[in-house]
Amino acid sequence: MDTNQVINDKNGKPSSKRISGIILISVGLVFLLSIGISSIFKVIADPQTALSVGQTIIGLGGALIGVGVFESIGNQNNG
């Protein structure tokens, strides 16, 4: 699959919601990975709170991507 097909909308322009969503999911995954490593070495006092923050970041990224997909589906039905 071509990366531009994922990022671009139906007009061929980059979708800011999809780009932001992909960035948020990537940041969230890196954050969760760092939390996992830190909790193994017991650097973080409360890893559960940090874990929920990472999950929230990933959820926000997924929501932005979902909004972009639903908008493109709505535009196809109206257009």
* CA–CA separation, 57 and 31 (whole Å): 9
Q: Along the chain (79 residues), what's the average pLDDT of each consecutive run of 10 residues?
A: 64 80 89 81 75 85 82 66
What pLDDT does 39 receive? 76
What pLDDT does 70 receive? 77
* CA–CA separation, 5 and 76 (whole Å): 16
pTM tops 0.75: no
* CA–CA separation, 29 and 56 (whole Å): 11
What pLDDT does 69 receive? 74
Q: Where are the domains of the chain?
A: 15-78
